[in-house]
Copies of this chain bind each other. A is one copy, B any other.
Amino acid sequence: MSEARTAPIVRMAELEIEADQLEAYRLLLAEEIEASVAMEPGVLMLNAVALQEDPAQIRILEVYASQRDYEAHLQTPHFLKYKSLTSGMVKALRLIDVDPLLMRSKMD
């Protein structure tokens, strides 16, 4: 297996949600995050926040243990459910590959 397939994947997702769908979207996103982190060993972090000045603007910082784990995540029932049920709620989605500089937490 190449190094690229075993290195962690770190990414930011920037989403804009339809204003009248925001409450429904937040519930589906929370359900998907809980399930992913609880059930998938390769999903290491999902931190979702909403901009105070525009709560329809969502940002998610995501860490997967490897490219293989990320690809497996995309095939899970909980992710497919989230993707299907939110497809009409998302006005814009930008996925930004990032490199971790330093990630430190004592929240969990």
Which residues from chain A sit less than 8 Å from chain B, CB to CB? 10, 12, 26, 29-30, 33-34, 37, 44-53, 55, 58-59, 61, 63, 96-108
Q: With A and B bound together, what is the CA distance between A46 and B48 in angstroms?
A: 14
A106 touches B45 (CB 8 A): yes
Which secondary structure dominates where chain A touches chain B? strand
Q: With A and B bound together, what is the CA distance between A89 and B12 in angstroms?
A: 24
Q: With A and B bound together, what is the CA distance between A48 and B47 in angstroms?
A: 13
Q: Which residues of B contact A34 (CB under 8 A)?
A: 102, 104
A102 touches B46 (CB 8 A): yes
B101 touches A50 (CB 8 A): yes
CB of A64, distance to nearest CB on chain B (Å)? 11
CB of A69, distance to nearest CB on chain B (Å)? 13
The verdict on A49 contacting B106 (CB below 8 Å), with A12-B59, A59-B12, A61-B61 known, is no
